[in-house]
Chains A and B, each alone.
Chain A
């Protein structure tokens, strides 16, 4: 059987080989710059090298260590100069890489729990709605998720514009006619996160909703007979039932939010908040395509993803072993 199917499998494997080579390629490109320790750490020389040959030159770890990425020198200097953590932190956020990292992490860890909570609330609410209403409810709930992220963010962005509807309302609420979301960093961050929650909550909702369909009615019945109130039923029957789903959603969301990118483009928020993906995009898309810089950020991002993912991978491995 396996022999008959060998051609197909090999086609598949080959199709995979292309990809994997490409993935390795992405590591390689930076490896060419970053695989060996070089003793000449000279930023100008690095820039010159980059300019004259985009590939195949050898710059050691310079790209990684320069100001745009790990910025070891600057961090060291800052560390020596400042005495309090708070001060150190604010200095760090002026370095591009740490700025991007800071936003990406904040975004990830703020949006994920909010999405889970909101999704759960909506799922419970929709589940108790009458059957006729559920179809349209689900339809509208899906919209924010299915929409192209860039486009969805744009729509919100226009509404938030100082001349748009939400922007005007905010100005009215704050009593400040000059209030502009675009001009203030904290407001921009909040907007991006609001967008993130808006965009991803439907996913949590759908998964929870599907989970709610499988809650055993007998258990609920039993809980009711024992006099559990509505809240107690949710607390002790439904939430434990949905817990495995929560880990799944949390994982998906962590991965998704870690690569936040499109909203920053459409909110034109790069002055206030940059994410790692955006940093790569910027390097690639500028007048001078800084491939090595982008590659270095890519590798750092991949490392970040790997750290996030490692617990999952270990668990999947165990699951498969058990099978």
Chain B
């Protein structure tokens, strides 16, 4: 009887399929649309005459001779020096992830093995940093940086991003190390390892899943950040996101929205690949509870 009831009536199946289809459309369509449109000229992507022009590329064909054009990409990457922003993004992300993971693993391990209740305060700090708009912190940093002449450098931004990120990293790694049984390193120490050797030889080999997940989230934070990077970086040191925002100001007047469209696609592509490869870790990290990217 139960198997009979378990089978779905067609109405329910239909409902589910409809909901899923609508959601898929909502979730994926904007990206596909923009990707498709980024190879067109502005007259097609923002078509006054007929929205279907964006699909068929009538004006693109008329203006450039082909159905697809790389003009937007060319303009953004070479003419407007988007590659510089991309390179800055790479630097910032790389250092933020490396620094916060190094500090985070050592700190998280120490915290997980210490008996005192530091953990609560880290959770507290993580929550507070999570809740506060990063921009409120930036307004605190700015005057100091102006005074010390630190404003505009990539290094300063990296430090600020690490600082904002660190409580999370610590918290996530802390709860991760908690799950590695203490007997593991204790037995290593019984066998004559020092504490550090135990960490190196026993803990490091088993810690990678947690570290990768945490690293992903630090990466997302550094990559996606707008408030901090827009405020703290000078023009030639900008990362990709503020660069895209600055396109908006200039391109509207130049009539080159397509630069922005193509750079948006360029920004999205790495994220797309990342989700594809690390979907499992991301889902795991999100459901682990304390964190969201």
Q: Does B244 contact A (CB under 8 A)?
A: yes
Which of B47-55, B59-67, B74-82, B203-211 participates in binding chain A?
A: B47-55
When C-beta atoms are compared, the residue in chain B nearest to A289 turns out to be B142
Contact with B along A132-146 (1 / 0, CB 8 A): 000101111111111
Q: Does B200 contact A (CB under 8 A)?
A: no
A284-314 with Cβ < 8 A to chain B: 284-285, 289, 291, 294-295, 297-299, 301-302, 305, 308-309, 312-313
Q: How far is the CB of B25 from chain A (nearest CB, A)?
A: 10
Which of A19-27, A77-85, A88-96 participates in binding chain B?
A: A19-27
The answer, among B116, B134, B244, for a CB contact under 8 Å with A150, is B244
Tell me the complex Cα distance, A250–B45, Å. 37
When C-beta atoms are compared, the residue in chain B nearest to A275 turns out to be B133
Q: Does the CB pair A144–B141 fall under 8 Å? A: no
Q: Does the CB pair A165–B166 fall under 8 Å? A: no
Q: Does A316 contact B (CB under 8 A)?
A: yes
Q: How far is the CB of B182 from chain A (nearest CB, A)?
A: 10
Q: Does B283 contact A (CB under 8 A)?
A: yes
Q: How far is the CB of B279 from chain A (nearest CB, A)?
A: 6
Q: Does the CB pair A224–B2 fall under 8 Å? A: yes
Q: Does the CB pair A148–B241 fall under 8 Å? A: yes
Contacts of A148 in B (CB 8 A): 223-224, 226, 241, 267-268, 271
Contacts of A308 in B (CB 8 A): 131
Q: How far is the CB of B241 from chain A (nearest CB, A)?
A: 6
In this complex, how many residues of chain A approach chain B with their Cβ under 8 Å: the count is 100
Q: Does the CB pair B231–A313 fall under 8 Å? A: no
In this complex, how many residues of chain B approach chain A with their Cβ under 8 Å: the count is 96
The answer, among A15, A277, A316, for a CB contact under 8 Å with B103, is A15
Q: Does the CB pair A143–B31 fall under 8 Å? A: yes
Q: Does B179 contact A (CB under 8 A)?
A: no
Which of A39-47, A64-72, A119-127 participates in binding chain B?
A: A119-127
Q: A55-B147, A148-B267 are in contact. Are A277 and B289 (CB under 8 A)?
A: no
Q: How far is the CB of A227 from chain B (nearest CB, A)?
A: 8
Q: Does the CB pair A12–B133 fall under 8 Å? A: no
Q: Does A11 contact B (CB under 8 A)?
A: yes
Contact with A along B99-113 (1 / 0, CB 8 A): 000010011011101
Contacts of A265 in B (CB 8 A): 226, 245
Tell me the complex Cα distance, A305–B272, Å. 32
Q: Does the CB pair A262–B226 fall under 8 Å? A: yes
Contact with B along A161-200 (1 / 0, CB 8 A): 1011100110000000000000000000000000000100
Tell me the complex Cα distance, A15–B34, Å. 42
Q: A143-B27, A159-B33 are in contact. Are A150 and B5 (CB under 8 A)?
A: no
B1-38 with Cβ < 8 A to chain A: 1-2, 5-6, 8, 12, 16, 19-20, 23-24, 26-28, 30-31, 33-34, 37
Contacts of B264 in A (CB 8 A): 151, 154-155
Q: Does A240 contact B (CB under 8 A)?
A: no
Interface centre among A2, A26, A252, by most chain B C-beta atoms within 10 angstroms, is: A26
Q: How far is the CB of A234 from chain B (nearest CB, A)?
A: 11
Q: Does B253 contact A (CB under 8 A)?
A: no
Q: Does B149 contact A (CB under 8 A)?
A: no
Contact with B along A225-243 (1 / 0, CB 8 A): 1000010000000000000
Q: Does A203 contact B (CB under 8 A)?
A: yes
Q: Does the CB pair B132–A259 fall under 8 Å? A: yes
Contacts of B144 in A (CB 8 A): 22, 25
Q: Does the CB pair A305–B51 fall under 8 Å? A: no
Q: Does the CB pair A5–B140 fall under 8 Å? A: no
Q: Does the CB pair B195–A129 fall under 8 Å? A: no
Contacts of B130 in A (CB 8 A): 252, 255
Q: Does A105 contact B (CB under 8 A)?
A: no
When C-beta atoms are compared, the residue in chain A nearest to B35 turns out to be A155
The answer, among A145, A150, A298, for a CB contact under 8 Å with B245, is A150
The answer, among B107, B220, B244, for a CB contact under 8 Å with A151, is B244
Contacts of B20 in A (CB 8 A): 122, 125-126, 129, 137
Tell me the complex Cα distance, A151–B124, Å. 31
Q: Does A269 contact B (CB under 8 A)?
A: no
Tell me the complex Cα distance, A243–B31, Å. 33
The answer, among B113, B125, B131, B286, for a CB contact under 8 Å with A207, is B286
Q: A149-B226, A155-B34, A320-B117 are in contact. Are A302 and B136 (CB under 8 A)?
A: yes
Q: Does A97 contact B (CB under 8 A)?
A: no
Q: A129-B16, A148-B271 are in contact. Are A210 and B47 (CB under 8 A)?
A: no
Q: How far is the CB of B96 from chain A (nearest CB, A)?
A: 14
Q: A144-B27, A146-B282, A312-B127 are in contact. Are A8 and B107 (CB under 8 A)?
A: yes
Q: How far is the CB of B27 from chain A (nearest CB, A)?
A: 5
Contacts of B241 in A (CB 8 A): 148, 150-151
Some 16 contacts from A to B, beta carbons below 8 A apart, are: A22-B140, A22-B141, A25-B144, A54-B143, A129-B20, A138-B283, A148-B224, A149-B224, A155-B264, A198-B27, A210-B286, A210-B287, A259-B133, A289-B142, A302-B132, A309-B128
What 7 A-B pairs come out closest when comparing CB atoms? A26-B140, A259-B133, A210-B287, A12-B107, A163-B46, A298-B136, A255-B131
Given contacts A16-B167, A252-B292, A309-B131, 5 further A-B contacts (CB under 8 A): A12-B110, A147-B268, A155-B31, A164-B45, A224-B5
